[in-house]
Chains A and B, each alone.
Chain A
């Protein structure tokens, strides 16, 4: 029971990170019907920006941790968003009127390019960060097994839930969110009421990348090591989460992220840690076979 509780806490934390990344996949898919395979690498770039910013801030004497983290959060959101914007502008927008697979292929190309860029500019070795947020609570103890809820875990879940609420409100209540949904439902009509479709799509990439940056910072603080390759596996997991939840659905991405996080954690805890990725991806296979539109997605109706 104690063991289970501990794994539940760990799973929800991991699921939050996956969920934040999954939102980027699902939003972009919703608006232009394309899987942005470079999104995982945008997340990876976000972790590096966070690490560099943090070290930079500490070296210029910003050692008050809450302030430093706040600055890191803002700076890495802005810079990562700029990366997301640039990728869309360079690699996807010129192919907007092209055949469906073209942007998918450039997305994979962008993914490889980003990985290599970081590998060359930052080196291939893992980059460590000393634990910044320490401490936590002992929830219960039995037979020498202590269930821990660490401060960093609390922070990850709280930040994720807060961002989820903010972004859901943006999508459902603001003019920007309405424009995004309008572009998703009928791009030509959106332009006929005066929506700048290209700019709306850009903003969608910017929002997705900013959330990936938050996930990146959380990942960095939680695990303490990053390298140029983390975007690949995390990206594919988040993509699985988005498909599981129903691609195009914002709450679906969050729910899918949670489920993937929990499956992976419990599988590692009770079966074998080596096969945790297999467990997560088996879910993807099962979902695609039995529930292709996902848990909260709409059934796909091919537009004519």
Chain B
């Protein structure tokens, strides 16, 4: 069977004394696209950041590629070939596009840089045109592409994508989702995708999880969830 890449076991995360994640269990297998959907404030981003160790899980275990990474410092976790395109994109605003991409590749050998740069410029040609422009001056869609490209520069085994569609024109959302799909199909890239845009996410994903108030309430294949009445009512009303 497929190899387990990421296992989240009973994870609880707090902000101060306020609980944000309540015993979350979640698996991502090698080569899969897994999506986590849920309303605003459900805890999706918190889970994404907890996987990266900031904030740290107070309870439970996070296992990546057979290794317990729960207590590792964030930069050590990223060393294990996890890359995140975070909520709000978090482009380095006063660095050029190229420098942002260099930051994404900071853990790699220099020899592979040119090759990886060619790959992401191929996926997002607009970044090549803007390579000397400061990140902060890009449009929202371009920043999103840069955030994903920066994550890809790290040659991740697992790509964490937090709301790549937020605030973008439908056409750009389509472009970004098709890039994710291609990378998964052609390179076997494993993707864990957090989305509010449930329809697109579930169509793209092999499997999905639904989160409500810091708990996983449902799980199933993408199409199973798409056809579930509760999911349709809560997350897809008017989207189809």
* Interface set of A (CB-CB < 8 Å, partner B): 175, 178-179, 181-182, 185-186, 188-197
Contact = CB atoms under 8 A, between A and B. Distances in A.
A193 B95 contact: no
Interface of B: 52, 54, 73-75, 78-79, 83-84, 86, 90, 92-95, 99, 102-104, 106-107, 150, 154
Contacts of B90: 186, 188-189, 192
Given A189-B90, A191-B54, 12 more contacts: A181-B95, A185-B93, A185-B95, A188-B54, A188-B90, A190-B103, A191-B74, A192-B54, A193-B106, A194-B79, A196-B75, A197-B75
Contacts, number: 60
B78 A191 contact: yes
- Top 4 A-B pairs, shortest CB-CB distance: A194-B78, A191-B74, A189-B90, A194-B107
Given A175-B106, A178-B103, A182-B103, A192 B95 contact: no
Contacts of B73: 191, 196
B108 to A, nearest CB: 9
B106 A179 contact: yes
A193 B94 contact: no
A192 B106 contact: no
A143 to B, nearest CB: 53
Given A181-B95, A182-B92, A193 B103 contact: yes
B240 to A, nearest CB: 34
Nearest to B135: A185
Contact of B84 (A178, A179, A192, A195): A192
23 contacts: A175-B106, A178-B103, A179-B103, A185-B92, A185-B94, A185-B95, A186-B92, A188-B90, A189-B90, A189-B92, A191-B73, A191-B75, A191-B78, A192-B78, A193-B83, A193-B103, A193-B104, A193-B107, A193-B150, A194-B75, A194-B154, A195-B75, A196-B73
